[in-house]
Structure 1
Amino acid sequence: MPRFPILPGLLALGLALPASAHTVAFGGIRADTTAPVEVTAESLRVNQDTGEAVFTGNVLIGQGEMRLSAESVTVVYAEGGQSRIRSLNATGGVTLVSGPDAAEAAEAAYDVEKGTVVLTGDAIVTRGESVLAGDRIEVSLKDGTASVQGGVRTVLQPGAN
């Protein structure tokens, strides 16, 4: 998937906030964390001993209205078998979309039980024309808040939903 063209413009404007952590109510990147998780990919490798499944090649994961795509995703199951997913770890061109909101990063770790996604590596979240970027962005899928750390950059549009 193509990268969002907003980040280069944001950096060119020189807009930056201090590199400390910031928490904002950023919007609607949310998911029904109780909904089933559906995964499609080109290949799958399962390790019964570790309780992990590795999907590779054009991986697409859906849960409710949320979609996550990446080149590789490791699914870690909760102890006791493959009946409950504990976490998803995505690498390679990660894109997360939920309604009008989107996020991109080099890697993403989705803790299904906590309902959080941690994006790292040129992480960026957009909602309409509003942009939030940083080295590490943690998004709560339950309430739509985001916590940003390291090289925080933002463009917030007044009156934007």
Structure 2
Amino acid sequence: MTRPPSARLVALLIGFSAIACAGPMFAQTTIAMSGLQTDPAAPIEVTSDTLSVSQSDQRAVFSSNVIITQGDLRISAETAEVSYDGASGQITELQLEGGVTLTTPTEAAESETAQYIIGTSHLTMMGNVLLTQGAMVVAGDTMLTDLRAGTAQMNGNVRSSFATGQ
């Protein structure tokens, strides 16, 4: 005699099927990140072990133990290529590579590479992005952050974990 599947087993199978089929719907997540707000006019300080400057290309490459700060925002990486305006000397863009880590008093994120466009306050982290915000952890392929608005959007293979308070 064959026993029919229990209601609990059927519910679990339906739930897992719904999650598996809904995968693409969860490929993007928008996150409020008030701790990542920064003033784009705040001074940027860059330190490293080595600096190479090309005046003709208006680029500087900081390498080894790179640390960038702007207000409460701190970014570290192995290398940072800095583009700047030749006339004013103002930094316009940062290209970061190698163990990029971003920290604020309330958030931390890491990725393989990142691009920070100073004028628009847009920071894009790419490659195995992991964001920690209190007890919440979100991972994905890329994270697009608007540092002026304090918002971020995680894209591609998004996974998250939330504390339940229990």
TM bin (shorter chain):
0.7 to 0.9
- Name the counterpart of 2:117: 111
- Name the counterpart of 1:31: 38
TM-score of the aligned structures, taking structure 1 as reference length = 0.82
Unaligned 5+ runs, structure 1: 1-15
Aligned length: 145
* Structure with higher RCO (Cα < 8 A, 6+ apart): 1
TM-score of the aligned structures, taking structure 2 as reference length = 0.79
Contact (CA 8 Å) 1:132, 1:152: kept in 2 or not? yes
Q: Is the counterpart of residue 131 in structure 1 residue 137 in structure 2?
A: yes
- Name the counterpart of 1:156: 162
Q: Structure 2 counterpart of 1:151, which letter?
A: N
Q: Structure 2 counterpart of 1:143, which letter?
A: A
Task: State the Cα deviation string for residues 46-94 of structure 1 (Å, max 9, x = none).
Answer: 011111000001000111111100000000113x335211111110011
**Larger Rg over CA atoms:** 2
Unaligned 5+ runs, structure 2: 1-21
Q: Percent identity?
A: 39
Q: Which of residues 75, 78, 81 is equivalent to 1:71? A: 78
- Name the counterpart of 1:100: 106
Q: Structure 1 counterpart of 2:40, which letter?
A: T
Seen in structure 2, the aligned counterparts of structure 1 residues 147 and 115 have a Cα distance that, compared at 3 Å, is same
- Name the counterpart of 2:65: 58
Seen in structure 2, the aligned counterparts of structure 1 residues 95 and 82 have a Cα distance that, compared at 3 Å, is farther
**RMSD (Å) for aligned C-alpha atoms:** 2.2
1:17, distance to aligned residue in structure 2 (A)? 5.4
Give the structure with the higher percent helix.
2
Task: State the Cα deviation string for residues 109-155 of structure 1 (Å, max 9, x = none).
Answer: 11111111100110111111111211010111112211111101112
